[in-house]
Amino acid sequence: MPDAAPLLDAAWRIDPALVRRGVPAHVSLLYPFVPESALTDQDEKGVRSLAASFPAADLLLEEVVTESGFVAVTVPGLQTIVDAFRTQWPGLRPYKGRFGAQPAAHVTVAMGADNPTAAAHVRAAIGSLLPLHTRATAVQLVVPTEEGWQPRFTVPLGVPDGP
């Protein structure tokens, strides 16, 4: 979600430690996902099939949320696809349950903003950049590696995969 990069840049200017450098602005559809060592062809087909079943979407980002050291912007236009991924893999708990069973689709802007003043500064900085219009066009499956998160594949939204 490149259009949301200025949100992360604003938080980084307040405190670089709050932003995961090298991880672009994105909406996690299901994190943690199946570990790469356990990922099956069926899982990959499931990701591709779900992506194909949802059209590309114009999105409006306008609400900032803060919870326990975490600052994010909700992305309600992607909630349906996030819910579909959670339904497809019911044994996986989003964020290991940290934000409840059904956390809202969101772009994480800052993590570790435990200082209320820092969190307030981030909220104010990103709030001044909203509303933000963007478009979601693809789903990317990424896996952790020694070099950081790496894409395994990208599939466009709304486009059937293969014949």
Torsion region of 88: left, alpha or beta (phi above 0 gives left; psi -120 to 50 gives alpha) = alpha
Q: How far is the C-alpha of 64 from the C-alpha of 73, rounded, in Å?
A: 4
Q: Tell me, what's the pLDDT at 162?
A: 60
Residue 133 gets which letter from DSSP? E
Q: Indicate the pTM of the whole model.
A: 0.93
Which parts of 3-162 are beta strand (E)? 57-61, 64-67, 70-74, 106-111, 132-136, 138-145, 148-156
List of the chain residues with pLDDT < 70: 161-163
Dihedral sign of CA atoms 106, 108, 110, 112 in order = positive
Q: Tell me, what's the pLDDT at 163?
A: 55
